[in-house]
């Protein structure tokens, strides 16, 4: 689940840019507005906000992914979920590689130690 959670931010960034192959932009914005209403401290940008939430929950995310792992992972993703299957229909290897690369890069820019939960910060 950590790997899946790690790619949510980059996938949501693609959706927010209007890349319909990954999902529906309006549905994502509507969903995220409900989350931000419940927790206004989260970024209103869905991609940034979900990364903040994952960080709060202690989900470390991906390390920078090497070229060989990137290729093997994208091939496996398309073999298992792509082609005519509904999970990744319309998404090609380049798009999967882009999302995986972004997931590794975003992990590097998250603030503070991973897993620093809000309750811990409030106690301190």
Question: Cβ(110)–Cβ(55) under 8 Å?
Answer: yes
Q: Both tokens of residue 108?
A: 């590097």
Q: Which of 8, 88, 18, 95 is nearest to 47 (CA)?
A: 8
pLDDT in the model for residue 78: 81
Report d(CA 23, CA 42) in Å as an integer. Answer: 21
Show the low-confidence residues of the chain (pLDDT under 70).
1, 60-64, 83-86, 105-124
What domain range includes position 34? Answer: 2-123
Number of structural domains found in the chain: 1
pLDDT at 107: 55
**Digit-coded pLDDT (tens) for 31-66:** 999 999 999 999 999 999 998 998 888 876 666 677
């Amino acid at each position: 689940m950590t790997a899946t959670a790690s790619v949510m931010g980059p996938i949501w960034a693609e959706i927010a840019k209007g890349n319909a192959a990954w999902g529906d932009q309006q549905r994502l914005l509507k969903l995220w507005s409900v989350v931000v209403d419940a927790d206004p401290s989260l970024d209103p940008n869905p991609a940034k906000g979900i990364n903040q939430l994952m960080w709060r929950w202690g989900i470390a995310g991906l390390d920078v992914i090497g070229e060989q792992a990137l290729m093997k992972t994208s091939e496996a993703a398309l073999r298992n979920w792509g082609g005519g299957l509904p999970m990744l229909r319309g998404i090609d290897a380049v798009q999967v590689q882009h999302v995986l690369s972004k997931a590794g890069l975003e992990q590097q820019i998250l603030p503070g130690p991973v897993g620093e939960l809000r309750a811990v910060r409030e106690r301190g």
